[in-house]
Structure formats: structure tokens, C-alpha cells
């Protein structure tokens, strides 16, 4: 009985530059669910918040050009001028929440940029400050490693 | 010789008494608070050209030898931009809207230099906050004390890779002090020519265009006002000119028409006369030729031929 010869061997798909992305492409319905979910979230929730919008109390006729480093709310004492007894009342007057926190950080950053970076002859002070903070954060990340130096029996 | 306790007590007591007397005699004055360092303090020192003092060794008798220069001649110069000299501040009390609050929200201006920093990155404001309690050396001592505490407790570990820091910081300091002004000058040109120059040019062009339009409108209004004053006379003059033109046209027409008719009469008469003349001449000539006999004809012919021959000979 003649048996037809079949070419046997390890058949490997030829790999090209984009083959690893083409092989593992996810199905279209997953991306589409995310898209539709995002659109629903925006239309029904985000649209009615003030995320990404300027402060509602900003009036261009009164305040002039918009600066993200300025606070367009009612005038109040700064944290340095508040006495200890007035703290609870002062804290009650402040806005609490996610968006006010983000705006506080954004205002501080914008003020720092205005003072050090967005300047005609800026210099290197903003670079050194950023590098210092970066070094500090990297040191904190490596802190567990340096605990061994502390716990060693013999030091330098 | 060992000093006795009583002698020591006296000496120490005298010293203390002296100190107390000195302290009491000194007036109780508060130390002057230093002024916040202004933005231009750093620039004030080196504004304009750097003072180049020539050493005596540099003055050579032979002028052909070249002068020795080094990169340290311009150590620490501060670049002063020629473009920021023309920066004009906003006019005071200029309000975009009548409700504008200028006291709490003044017009924003771009700063020329950043806030003062010590050691390259620590703001000067923090030092002033320390000054009232601790004096001038307070923050530095605080830093030294903190640093020594952190090192002694091994919160900041001094390992071998940290030894790269001091030389790098030193090199950075030297490079910035020697060549910083050149880099700043180069980037000042780049910023001016690529970013701020075109915008300023656009703004200036629009301003000049608006001003030209205004002046044009003013002249046009003046012209209109003067025109209104002289308009009736102008209208009268125009009407008079039109009438004159029409009159002259008609006079010309009359002249042409009369000339045409007169010419016609003259022509007709001349035609008649010419015809009469011709007719008469022809009739006369015919009559004369008819009166001629054959002999006279021959004579006349021979004479004519003789005349022609003489004419031909003489010609």
C-alpha cells in the first residue's frame, strides 16, 4: 500500500517587525466596550462636573486675563497668618474635595513656573531644584537598601 | 604656680563683671533686618562692561607680541539683553472694563529674572523667614546641623557613588560661571528672532495699520467738511461748465451747417461756370478747325514738325 508522503517538520510562522502585534491583536468588541463606556461616562457624569473647566467665579471683566497661579475666590488669610485658635474656622471656610486639591497643587506649580521657569533670563535654578527633588525621591525609593548600612555591625 | 581658688574666683568674677558692665553699657538696639535682595542686585554689579584691569606684566614694550587672554577674563559676567531695554510697563490705571479690579488682580507682567536663590537652588525667602529668630547664619547652621544629624544617624548613607557629586558640582559651577553668559546671549537671540520678534512685528504692523487708517479717516473727514462748505459753488460751476459745453457744441453745429450750405452754392456755381467754359472752348475750337482748308492744314503740320525738330535738336 502506497502511503502518500507528507512533509513533516516544525512549521514556524515567519516573524516580521509587526508580527508580534498582529498575532496578539485583541478582538474589536473589547475596545469598543471601553469606547462606549467612556462616552457614557462623559455624557452623563463628567459633563455635569467642573473637571477641566476654569473656576466658576472667574469674571474676565473684573479679573482680567486668566492666570492659573491666581485664586479667584474670596479673600482670606494665608496659612502663615492664621492663629491656632482660628484654625477650625479657617479650615471650615476652605473648599474640600478632589478638584480643589488638584487646583491647589496646580496653582502652586503655576506660581513656581512663573517665578523660576517662564522668565526671560531664567538660569539654572529651576533645574537644580527639580534635580534635588528627583534625587530625594530616588533616595526614598532606595531607602530599604540603605537600611542594611544602618543595621550593619561595623560602620565606616 | 597653682592659683588658689579665691584668686581664680576673683579673676572670673572680675571678667564676668566686666562683661556685664560692657553689655549694660551697650545700647539696646535691634539688628537691622536686611532688605530682600532685589532682582537686579546680581545684575547691578556687572551691568555694562566688565572692568578689565591690565596687570603690569601684560604691558609689554614690544607691541608686536600678542596679548595673553584666558577664559577667566570674563568670569561671572551677567548678560544684559539689548531687547529688554525697550520693555514698556503697562500704563497705570488702564482698565479693559470699568469693573476691572486692579488692586487685587494687577496686570500680569513677564519677569526678567527669577527669584533670588542661595547655593543655586534654595530660595532667599526662606532665609528671611529665619532671619528674625536666628540672624544671618541661622539657616546655614540649621543646614549644617541637620546634615550632620542625618549623616551620624546614617539616614543619609555616604556611599562610594556619592563621591561623584562634589567634582560634578564643582565642574558645573565653573562651566556656568565661565560660559553661562555666552549661552544666555545665544538663546536670547534665538528667542527674540524665532518667538518674540515675529509676534512683536505683527503687533507693531497692526498698530501702524490702525494708525494709518485713522489718519486716512481723519483726512477724509476733513476733506468732506471742506467739501460741504464749497459744494454749492462747485455745483454751480459744474452746471455752468455743462451749459458752456452745450452752447459751444451748438455753435459748432451752426458753423458747420452754414459752411456746408455755402460750399454747396459755391460748388454748384463753379460747376456751372466750368461746364459753360468747356463747352464754349470746344465749340470755338471745332468751328476753327472746320474753317481750315487742306492747304492750311499742311502748312500747319510742316511747321509743327519743324518746331518739333528744332526742339529735339536743342534738347
Answer whether residue B146 is part of any domain.
no
Q: Are residues A38 and A69 in the same domain?
A: no
Q: Are residues A35 and A62 in the same domain?
A: no
Pairwise pLDDT comparison (A67 vs B21), residue with the higher score: A67
Q: How far apart are CA A113 and CA A107, in angstroms?
A: 10
Q: How many domains does chain A have?
A: 2
Contact B188/A at CB under 8 A? yes
Answer whether residue B156 is part of any domain.
no
Give the residue numbers spanning the domain of B84: 1-112
Give the residue numbers spanning the domain of A39: 16-46
Give the closest-approach CA distance of A32 to chain B in angstroms. Answer: 43
Contact B21/A at CB under 8 A? no
Answer whether residue A92 is part of any domain.
yes
Answer whether residue B213 is part of any domain.
no
C-alpha distances (whole Å) from B95 to each of A61, A63, A65, B24 are 9, 10, 12, 58
* B159 contacts on A by Cβ (under 8 Å): 146, 149
* A61 contacts on B by Cβ (under 8 Å): 96-97, 99-100
Q: How many domains does chain B have?
A: 2
Pairwise pLDDT comparison (A71 vs A2), residue with the higher score: A71
pLDDT in tens, B29-41: 666 666 665 555 5
Answer whether residue A90 is part of any domain.
yes
Which residue reads 462623559 in cell numbers?
A: A42
- The answer to whether residues A22 and A36 touch, using CB atoms and an 8 Å cutoff, is no
Answer whether residue B223 is part of any domain.
no
Last residue of one domain, picked from the residues B91, B112, B133: B112
Contact A154/B at CB under 8 A? no
Q: How far apart are CA B225 and CA B69, in angstroms?
A: 72
pLDDT in tens, B154-173: 899 888 888 999 999 999 99
Q: Residue B230: which H helix or E strand, with range? A: helix B197-291
Pairwise pLDDT comparison (B43 vs A152), residue with the higher score: A152
Give the closest-approach CA distance of B121 to chain A in angstroms. Answer: 5
pLDDT in tens, A71-87: 999 988 888 888 999 99
Last residue of one domain, picked from the residues B52, B84, B112: B112
Answer whether residue B184 is part of any domain.
no
- What is the pLDDT confidence band of residue B178, given thresholds at 50, 70 and 90? very high
Question: Of B97, B180, B219, B149, which is closest to residue A65 (Cα–Cα)?
Answer: B97
Answer whether residue A11 is part of any domain.
no
Residue B135 has pLDDT above 90, yes or no: no
Answer whether residue B106 is part of any domain.
yes
* A60 contacts on B by Cβ (under 8 Å): 97
Question: Of B102, B137, B109, which is closest to residue B31 (Cα–Cα)?
Answer: B137
Q: Are residues A62 and A118 in the same domain?
A: yes
Residue B215 has pLDDT above 90, yes or no: yes
Q: What pLDDT is stored for residue B17 in this prediction? A: 73
Q: Are residues A35 and A87 in the same domain?
A: no
pTM: 0.58
Question: Of B122, B120, B115, which is closest to residue B139 (Cα–Cα)?
Answer: B122
Q: How far apart are CA A64 and CA B97, in angstroms?
A: 9
Amino acid at each position: 500500500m502506497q502511503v502518500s508522503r507528507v512533509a513533516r517538520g516544525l512549521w514556524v510562522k515567519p516573524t516580521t517587525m509587526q508580527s508580534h502585534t498582529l498575532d496578539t491583536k485583541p478582538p474589536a468588541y473589547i475596545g469598543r466596550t471601553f469606547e462606549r463606556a467612556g462616552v457614557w461616562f462623559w455624557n452623563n457624569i463628567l459633563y455635569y462636573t467642573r473637571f477641566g473647566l476654569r473656576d466658576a467665579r472667574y469674571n474676565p471683566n473684573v479679573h482680567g486675563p486668566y492666570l492659573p497661579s491666581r485664586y479667584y475666590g474670596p479673600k482670606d488669610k494665608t496659612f502663615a497668618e492664621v492663629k491656632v485658635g482660628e484654625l477650625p474656622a479657617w479650615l471650615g471656610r476652605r473648599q474640600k474635595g478632589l478638584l480643589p486639591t488638584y487646583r491647589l497643587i496646580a496653582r502652586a506649580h503655576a506660581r513656581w513656573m512663573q517665578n523660576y521657569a517662564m522668565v526671560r533670563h531664567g538660569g539654572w535654578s529651576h533645574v537644580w531644584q527639580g534635580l534635588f527633588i528627583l534625587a530625594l525621591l530616588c533616595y526614598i525609593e532606595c531607602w530599604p537598601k540603605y537600611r542594611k548600612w544602618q543595621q550593619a555591625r561595623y560602620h565606616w | 604656680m597653682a592659683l588658689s581658688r579665691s584668686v581664680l574666683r576673683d579673676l572670673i568674677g572680675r571678667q564676668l563683671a566686666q562683661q556685664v558692665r560692657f553689655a549694660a553699657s551697650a545700647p539696646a538696639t535691634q539688628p537691622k533686618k536686611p532688605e530682600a535682595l532685589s532682582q537686579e542686585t546680581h545684575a547691578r554689579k556687572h551691568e555694562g562692561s566688565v572692568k578689565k584691569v591690565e596687570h603690569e606684566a601684560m604691558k609689554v614694550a614690544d607691541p608686536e607680541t600678542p596679548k595673553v587672554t584666558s577664559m577667566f577674563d570674563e568670569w561671572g559676567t551677567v548678560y544684559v539683553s539689548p531687547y529688554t531695554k525697550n520693555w514698556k510697563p503697562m500704563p497705570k490705571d488702564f482698565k479693559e472694563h470699568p469693573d476691572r479690579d486692579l488692586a487685587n488682580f494687577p496686570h500680569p507682567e513677564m519677569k526678567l529674572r527669577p527669584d533670588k536663590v542661595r547655593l543655586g537652588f534654595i530660595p532667599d525667602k526662606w532665609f528671611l523667614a529665619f532671619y528674625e529668630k536666628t540672624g544671618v547664619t541661622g539657616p546655614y547652621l540649621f543646614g549644617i546641623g541637620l546634615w550632620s544629624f542625618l549623616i551620624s544617624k546614617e539616614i543619609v548613607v555616604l556611599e562610594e557613588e556619592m563621591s561623584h557629586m562634589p567634582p560634578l558640582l564643582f565642574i558645573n559651577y565653573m562651566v556656568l560661571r565661565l560660559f553661562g553668559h555666552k549661552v544666555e546671549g545665544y538663546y536670547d537671540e534665538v528667542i527674540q528672532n524665532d518667538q518674540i520678534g515675529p509676534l512683536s512685528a505683527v503687533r507693531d504692523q497692526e498698530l501702524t495699520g490702525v494708525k494709518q487708517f485713522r489718519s486716512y479717516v481723519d483726512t477724509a473727514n476733513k476733506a468732506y467738511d471742506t467739501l460741504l462748505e464749497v459744494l454749492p459753488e462747485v455745483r454751480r460751476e459744474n452746471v455752468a461748465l455743462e451749459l458752456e459745453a452745450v452752447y459751444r457744441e451748438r455753435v459748432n453745429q451752426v458753423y458747420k451747417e452754414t459752411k456746408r450750405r455755402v460750399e454747396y452754392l459755391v460748388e454748384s456755381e463753379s460747376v456751372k461756370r466750368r461746364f459753360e467754359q468747356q463747352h464754349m472752348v470746344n465749340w470755338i475750337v471745332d468751328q476753327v478747325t472746320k474753317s481750315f482748308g487742306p492747304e492750311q492744314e499742311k502748312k500747319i503740320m510742316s511747321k509743327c514738325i519743324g518746331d518739333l525738330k528744332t526742339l529735339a535738336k536743342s534738347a
